[in-house]
Amino acid sequence: MLKEDYILMGGVKIPKLGLGTWQMSENEAEEATLNALKLGYRQIDTAGAYGNEAGVGRGIKRYGARREEIFITTKIQAEIKTAEGAAEAIENSLRLLDTDYIDLMLIHAPMPWDEICYRKPRPSHRYEKENIAVWKVMEKYLESGKLRAIGVSNFEIHDILNIIENTSIKPAVNQVRCYIGHTPRKAIDFAKEQGIIIQAYSPNATGRLLSDETANRLAKKYGVTVPQLAIKYDLQLGTQPLPKTTNALHMEENCKLNFDISADDMQILESLGTVDLVREK
């Protein structure tokens, strides 16, 4: 599994499995990155908002691989909605990661977190112009070679269409929560239609799936752990999972996915909860 890739728009290869580093300190991210790379992981996901980009960069340096062998994903903070702020954020990520280029840069969310799109009712201000301004800066960095691919995170259909209809380059990725009990079917279907890869963060529901009766029953049926079942579920949905762990043993378990969930069992797992995460309006 660790050697398999998806192909993003533009021809950039992205590993099918990556390591998430959300809620890790700099030191934890450094050690987790190093351990993951030793096990054969090739993608590390971080963000400006995580405060651990420097740790990820140190872990990569300690591992010592050629830069082109590692795929780095990071994100512009959701609160940054100006061209000047976007350029500063990208330069800061390059500096903290200690790299000449970033493989995938995302806008972390379509709105600042205190106005985030999951809230109801939806805010009247959707930051359309602001997201376009940020995106156009990302396009320039893509053209310069400092970014290899660009995308979004936590974006709704309205927000993605705003980018598609008003800029030159489609988002290659939309990174969203996607796990058993929280399957964003509309987001997945829309992304497929547009040629966008869905990255699935928190595939194990930040640990909550460990107590789910159905997930445990089916994991036992396949002779795997609940996290293995959850990661495989995301892969069979056609998404790219980013399991997060600081435990090297769990990292190793998470990439042992030599089994297939049957179509009937996939239906059972999806029936545990689909969400209208990505809306048209």
**Among 271, 281, 280, 279, CA closest to 183:** 271
pLDDT band for 281, please (50, 70, 90 cuts): very low
- Cα separation, 132 vs 157, whole angstroms: 15
Q: What topology is assigned to 8-270 in CATH?
A: TIM Barrel (3.20.20)
- Which residues are known catalytic residues? 50
Cis amide bond preceding 121, omega within 30: yes
Strand 147-153's sheet: what is its strand order? 19-20, 43-45, 71-76, 102-107, 147-153, 173-177, 197-201, 240-242
Q: Give the domain ranges of the chain.
A: 8-270
- pLDDT tens, residue by residue, 173-212: 999 999 999 999 999 999 999 999 999 999 998 889 999 9
- pLDDT tens, residue by residue, 226-271: 999 999 999 999 999 999 999 999 999 999 999 999 999 999 999 9
Q: What pLDDT score does 280 carry?
A: 38
Retrieve residue 140's tokens: 């320039």
Residue 170 has pLDDT above 80, yes or no: yes
